[in-house]
Amino acid sequence: ADIPVIPDLEDVQEEELAMQVAAPPSVQVNRVLTYHDLDKDLMKYAAFQTLDGEVDLKLLTKVLAPEHELREDDVSWDWDHLFTEVSSELVTEWDLGQSERED
């Protein structure tokens, strides 16, 4: 019942093609604009002052915060320290709530 069969050459070639991996597409990477570049463009071009030609963004652009005000130092979080700090604050708030109820 199980007679060995010699495979056709076309079948073998199709299997070889199925095992090959296509090369990834090459994409040209554009330069990412910095906050400073975006700020200059925002103030320089009036096109950024409206959205879809209908929504006026002038009020928003006047109150945007500069980059140096938005930057924050990276702070590492330690789970034990963070848990202790939050727990302590919650207990303090609970104690204040209890003392106000008693008064």
| Cβ count near 64 (within 10 Å) | 13
Query: Which structure tokens are listed for 11?
Result: 């079948």
Comparing 41 with 69, the larger pLDDT belongs to 69
What pLDDT score was predicted for residue 101?
Answer: 78
Mean pLDDT for 82-98 is 92
What pLDDT score was predicted for residue 17?
Answer: 62
Q: Residue 82: what residue type? A: L
**Domain boundaries defined on the chain:** 33-66
Residue 12: half-sphere exposure toward Cβ, Cα within 13 Å: 5
pTM over 0.75: no
pLDDT tens column, 51-74: 666 777 777 777 777 778 888 888
For 22, 87, 91, the CA distances from 80, given in Å and listed in that order, are 48, 10, 16
Q: Residue 101: what residue type? A: R
